[in-house]
């Protein structure tokens, strides 16, 4: 029996790990499964754990006020040393490109434990965009023994870095999680209640934004673009769950408060986020995961980044890079609202990120490894 330790600390990691954890637990004759949270995030993470019916075996609870990357890195590696000594896993699974993922892989390497990297091979080829994620995922890639890539392009990125052993193209577990979650929320009206202020008879634009590289002037441009769109299209509703980071809150509230059709709301937990995404006409975001999720629901995505490690969506036509240019955001949002043929082309493009079977593929592969 293989002992698997899942290490994660943020909401996106939990969402993408959940299908694999459940798939592994279905095969209890093959796997002894433990879950370790670092606590890199807190409130948002625990709501996802509840939604996906997951429980942590260990919670390092590292989150503290005004923590820095230095704090997270140092505290996590000290905490993980104790966990690895106690559980002695055969494989440590980390997901994506967070500091938790990097430290989880590094800690496992220090103990000579094999590492499986979920969502391997993503690259923007700019070490500061996104920061620090681009370097985190490259360092995990260097350490990992098993690389589970969401797309062929991701696998090709690894090949260019001379990583050729145990590279598997499986799709992305975010699609597994999304399809499970949407089925659950569509079965009840309970998730609609917090959105009493919107009309489902009008077009809804969902906006999310939190990237460090967009702090300052870029966020001002984004807000000015949203303000213009709201004024130009008074019947369109813009719903913006505002990230708690003060660098985001201050700019957004200063520039977008008290607008008739722009709704600034608190950050959403995962089920409410996918509920409003499911009801949206299209999405404007700088998030990574939403670039993968929204197309599965037929929602075009305008990506407020100059580069993305998820170019497959751009190539397929489900997503479009608009950067943080006020003019570009306005131009492309207007095209989606005014040109139905353009909208249909984006909304019906094939999502390149998977078909909902990724978790089972990963568990099947791990079961065969010696």
Active site amino acids: 97, 119, 133, 210, 212, 243
The residue behind tokens 């193209």 is 169
Q: How many C-beta atoms lie closer than 10 Å to residue 87's C-beta?
A: 18
Q: Is the pLDDT of residue 41 over 80?
A: no
Note the pLDDT of residue 276: 97
Distance, CA of 357 to CA of 58 (rounded, Å): 28
Mean of pLDDT over the chain: 93
Q: What is the largest CA-CA distance in the chain?
A: 61
pLDDT mean over 352-367: 95
CB 318 within 8 A of CB 351: yes
pLDDT mean over 143-150: 98
Structure tokens at 116: 């499986």
Confidence of residue 310 (pLDDT cuts 50, 70, 90): confident
The class (CATH top level) of 189-347 is alpha beta
User: What is the torsional sign of CA 225, 228, 230, 232?
Assistant: negative
Cis peptide before 130 (omega within 30 of 0): yes
The SS3 assignment for 147 reads: strand
What DSSP string runs through 310-367? -HHHHHHTSEEE-TT-HHHHHHHHHHHHH-HHHHHHHHTSPPTT--S-HHHHHHHHHH
Architecture of domain 2-172+355-367: 3-Layer(aba) Sandwich (3.40)
Q: Is the pLDDT of residue 158 over 90?
A: yes
Note the pLDDT of residue 289: 82
Q: For the CA atoms of the chain, what is the radius of gyration? A: 20
The SS3 assignment for 25 reads: helix
Structure tokens at 135: 């370097």
Q: How many C-beta atoms lie closer than 10 Å to residue 104's C-beta?
A: 32
Q: Which residues of 282-300 are buried (b: 16+ CB within 10 A; e: fewer)?
A: bbbbbbbbbbbbbbbbebb
Q: Is the pLDDT of residue 138 over 90?
A: yes
Q: Is the pLDDT of residue 110 over 80?
A: yes
Report the percentage of the chain scoring pLDDT > 70. 99
The candidate with the shortest Cα–Cα distance to 98, out of 133, 147, 71, is 133
Note the pLDDT of residue 323: 93
According to DSSP, residue 106 is labeled: H
pLDDT mean over 56-78: 90
CB 60 within 8 A of CB 81: no
Q: What is the pLDDT of residues 43-61, one digit of tens each?
A: 678 889 999 999 999 999 8
Note the pLDDT of residue 355: 87
Instruction: Specify the higher pLDDT residue, 112 or 247.
Output: 112
Note the pLDDT of residue 46: 83
Most trustworthy range by pLDDT among 43-57, 119-133, 271-285: 271-285
Note the pLDDT of residue 215: 77
Q: Is the pLDDT of residue 150 over 90?
A: yes
Note the pLDDT of residue 213: 73
The candidate with the shortest Cα–Cα distance to 259, out of 273, 243, 283, 240, is 240
Q: What is the pLDDT of residues 175-212, one digit of tens each?
A: 999 999 999 999 999 999 999 999 999 999 999 987 77
Note the pLDDT of residue 224: 94
pTM of the model: 0.85
Note the pLDDT of residue 43: 66
Residue spans in the chain of domains classed CATH 3.40.50.2000: 2-172+355-367, 189-347
Q: Is the pLDDT of residue 248 over 90?
A: no
Q: Is the pLDDT of residue 167 over 80?
A: yes
pLDDT mean over 79-95: 98
Q: How many C-beta atoms lie closer than 10 Å to residue 92's C-beta?
A: 29
Confidence of residue 250 (pLDDT cuts 50, 70, 90): confident
């Amino acid at each position: 029996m293989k002992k698997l330790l899942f290490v994660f600390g943020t909401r996106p990691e939990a969402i993408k790990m959940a299908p694999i954890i459940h798939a592994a637990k279905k095969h209890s004759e093959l796997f002894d499964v433990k879950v370790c949270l670092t606590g890199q995030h807190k409130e948002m993470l625990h709501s996802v754990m509840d939604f996906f019916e997951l429980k942590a075996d260990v919670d390092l609870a590292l989150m503290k006020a005004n923590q820095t990357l230095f704090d997270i890195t140092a505290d996590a590696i000290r905490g993980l040393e104790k966990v690895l000594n106690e559980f002695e896993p055969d494989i440590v699974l980390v997901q994506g490109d967070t500091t938790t993922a990097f430290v989880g892989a590094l800690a496992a390497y220090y103990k000579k434990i094999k590492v499986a990297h979920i969502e391997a091979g993503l690259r923007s080829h700019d070490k500061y965009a996104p920061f620090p994620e681009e370097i985190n995922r490259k360092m995990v890639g260097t350490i990992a023994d098993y690389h589970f890539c969401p797309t062929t392009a991701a696998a090709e990125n690894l090949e260019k870095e001379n990583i050729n052993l145990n590279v598997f193209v499986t799709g992305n577990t975010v699609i597994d999680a999304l399809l499970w979650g949407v089925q659950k929320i569509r079965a009840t009206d309970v998730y609609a209640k917090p959105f009493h202020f919107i009309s489902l008879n009008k077009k809804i634009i969902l906006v999310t934004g939190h990237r460090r590289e967009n702090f300052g002037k870029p966020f001002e441009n984004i807000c000015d673009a949203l303000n213009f769109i709201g004024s130009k299209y008074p019947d369109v509703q813009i719903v913006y769950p505002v990230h708690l980071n003060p660098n985001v809150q201050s700019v957004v509230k200063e520039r977008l408060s008290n607008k008739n059709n722009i709704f600034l709301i608190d950050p959403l937990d995962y089920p409410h986020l996918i509920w409003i995404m499911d009801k949206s006409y299209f999405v404007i975001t700088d998030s990574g995961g939403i670039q993968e999720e929204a197309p599965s629901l037929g929602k075009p995505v305008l990506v407020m980044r100059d580069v993305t490690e998820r170019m497959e969506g751009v190539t397929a036509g489900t997503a479009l890079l608009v950067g943080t240019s006020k003019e570009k955001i306005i131009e492309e949002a207007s095209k989606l609202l005014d040109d139905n043929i353009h909208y249909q082309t984006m909304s019906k493009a094939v999502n390149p990120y998977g078909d909902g079977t990724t978790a089972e593929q990963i568990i099947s592969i791990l079961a065969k490894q010696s």
